[in-house]
Amino acid sequence: MGSDKRQYPRFPTKIETIYFSEDDKAERMYYPGIIINRSKGGVGLRVNYPHRPMERVWLEGMDSTGSPIEAAVCWVKHHEQDSSHYQIGLQFLTSNANIR
């Protein structure tokens, strides 16, 4: 754990969410996910789709104003117990988000 570069501590959780990968409403692809941990700077998400590092996604239901939260994929790996799922690390890009 000495190489951990996180700026904020993480807290385990299990929250179902919906997120999308295109800002343009006509091009959006919606995906289900489970937030497995969170911090002030981002979340860990269990997903069915192998996103790419640096890809942008928008999380719904996390901002108290109802606005989607923009985040960047930092890393991707196969889920340890289910190889049909992935875990992705997301860093929030919206600095003024009202995260619940």
Q: Where are the domains of the chain?
A: 11-92
The pTM for the full model equals 0.83
**Separation of CA 62 from chain center:** 10
pLDDT tier at 3, thresholds 50, 70, 90: low
Report the CATH number of the 11-92 domain.
Answer: 2.40.10.220
Using CA atoms, how far residue 84 sits from 8, 40, 49, 77, in Å, is 29, 29, 9, 11
pLDDT tens column, 7-51 = 789 999 999 999 998 777 788 889 999 999 999 899 999 999 989
